[in-house]
Structure 1
Amino acid sequence: MTGRPFTPPCGLPPFTDKLPADVQKKLHEIWKDYKNGEKCYNEQGETRELLHSLPKEVRKAIFKHPPLPRPLTRAPKEVQQQFKDILEDKSIPCEDKFKKMHELAQKLLKGETLTEFNDFYNKIEEHKKHIEALAEKLSPEAKQAYDKLKDLRKQRYQIYQNLSEPARDELFDLWQEKCYSFPRPR
C-alpha cells in the first residue's frame, strides 16, 4: 500500500446530516450524478468549496469532533457514541485510539458493519507497517529527523489536548484563516 489512506472518500461526507438543510440539499445536488467506482475530483472540489463557504460557527460545529470511520456511520447512535467517547478521551494516546476502537468493535459490531470496520482497521495497520518499513530504510540522518518529527507530532497532539475549549477555538479560527483565506489561483 502506498500513498495516504485518508483522502476523503467519494460520496456525501459522513457529517452531512449535521449540516443546515439548504447545505444538505446542495451537497446532494453535487453528488447526484456520481457513480460508485468513478473518479470524484470535481465533486470533492465542489464539496470542499461549499464547506469552506459556510459560516465559521457551522464549520466549528462540524469539525470540532473527529469523524467516525465510515463503517461506523451505519451503526446505531448509542454504539457510535461509544466510539466517539474513545476518540475524545484525552487520557488515551492518539496512537492507541484505533486499537481501542478495534477492541470495542469486536464486542459491539456484527455482520457487514464489523467486516467493513475490520477491513478499515487492517488497511490502517498495513499503512502503518508500510510507513515503518520505509522509515527503516532511511539514511541515518533522515531517520533521526523522521523520529524527531514523529515526536513533535505527538507533542503537538498533547499540547492541543491540554488546551481549554476557548483556546482551541482561537486556534481553530487562526488555522481556518491561514488555510482558506490565502488567495488561490482559479
Structure 2
Amino acid sequence: MFYLFLSFMEFSYVQAMQWATIRVHPALFISQEAATRQCSLPSFVNDLPNVERKEVIAVWKDYKRGEDCSEQRQETQEILPSDVRALLFGRPPAFLKDAPVAVKKMFRDIMQNKSVDHEEKKQQLSKLAEEVLSRRQLSDFKRYLDEHEQRRQEFQNKVSHNILNANSVIVNSLSPEARDVYEKLERLKIERAKLIEEMNDDVRKELRDLYRKPKSKKSRKS
C-alpha cells in the first residue's frame, strides 16, 4: 500500500497489485533485519491472496533447514504484492502512521484503481483525506502531497530534458541518424515503464513465471 502511494506520487510509473481483502497480520510488521534473517516459509503466508500464497509455498517447498536461502528470500519478495513489500521493508507516510487499518485500506484502494489517471487519483485522495483524517493528519497529508507533486514535476522535467537535451554535448555530436535512434530509445524507456505500471495482475504473474522458468531449468541441470 505505502509503496504504491509513494510510487504514484513520485511518478515512478512502476508497480501495483490486487490486495482488497487482506487481513493485516502482525507478522507483516516485522523489521527488515528480521525478515532478512528468516530462512523458512514466512509466517504471514496464510494472509496472502491465493495465487501469491501458492507461489510462495512452492518457492520454499524443497528448502532444507541450514541451507542458504537467499534465492528463496529473493523470489518471495518478487512474488509479494508491492504494498506487502512496503509493509515488510518500508515505512508508511507520516500522515498514515497512526491511522486505523480501515483508513489505510481506503487510501490503498484508491491507489490500486488503474481506471483513473494521476489527476483524478489526486482529487480522490484529497477528498478522502478531508473526510477521514484528523486535523494533524490532514496537515501532514497536504504537506506530503505538495512535496511529492514537486518531485513528480521535477521528474517530468528531467525526463523531458533527458529526451531533448541530455548529454547535450555528446548528443549534439551524433549524426542525425544516431540522434534519431537515441531519442527513440529514450522514449521507449518511458513507454516500457508505463507498460509495467499498467499491466494487470494476471499478466504480471505470467511474465514473472516466464522469466523464472529458464533459471529453474538451469538449477535442475546443476
The TM-score, its normalising length taken from structure 2, stands at 0.44
Is the counterpart of residue 70 in structure 1 residue 89 in structure 2? no
Structure 1 CA distance, aligned partners of 2:164 and 2:122?
30
The answer to whether the aligner puts 1:102 opposite 2:126 as a matched pair is yes
- Structure 1 residues without counterparts, runs of 5 or longer: 7-14, 28-49, 179-186
Q: Tell me if the contact between 1:86 and 1:97 (Cα under 8 Å) persists in the aligned partners.
A: yes
**Of the two, which has the highest radius of gyration?**
2
Q: RCO higher in 1 or 2 (8 Å CA, sep ≥ 6)?
A: 2
Aligned length: 140
Residue in structure 2 matched with residue 84 of structure 1 by the alignment: 108
Q: CA RMSD in A?
A: 4.5
What are the within-5 Å matches in structure 2 for residues 12-91 of structure 1?
17-19=26-28, 26=34, 54=73, 56=75, 60-61=79-80, 63=82, 67=86, 69-71=92-94, 72-91=96-115
Letter in structure 2 aligned against 1:154: K
Whether the aligned pair in 2 keeps the contact of 1:83 and 1:101 (CA below 8 Å) is yes
Shift of 1:124: 0.9
> In the TM superposition, what is the alpha-carbon distance from 1:128 to its structure 2 partner?
1.9
1:31-68 deviation line (CA, Å, top 9, x unaligned): xxxxxxxxxxxxxxxxxxx9986384576346365858
* Cα deviations by residue, 1:111-169 (Å, 9 ceiling, x for unpaired): 22222222221111111222334455457375x555554344223322x12xxx45433
What is the TM-score with the length of structure 1 in the denominator? 0.50
Measure how far apart 1:25 and its partner are: 8.2
CA distance in 2: counterparts of 1:141 and 1:65, whole angstroms: 38
State the alpha-carbon separation in 2 of the partners of residues 96 and 151 from structure 1: 21
User: Is 1:168 the equivalent of 2:220?
Assistant: no
Q: 2:190 aligns with which of 150, 157, 167?
A: 150
Runs (5+) with no aligned partner, structure 2: 1-9, 12-23, 36-68, 167-182, 215-222
What is the aligned-residue identity percentage?
21
Aligned to 1:130: 154
Post-superposition shift, 1:85?
0.9
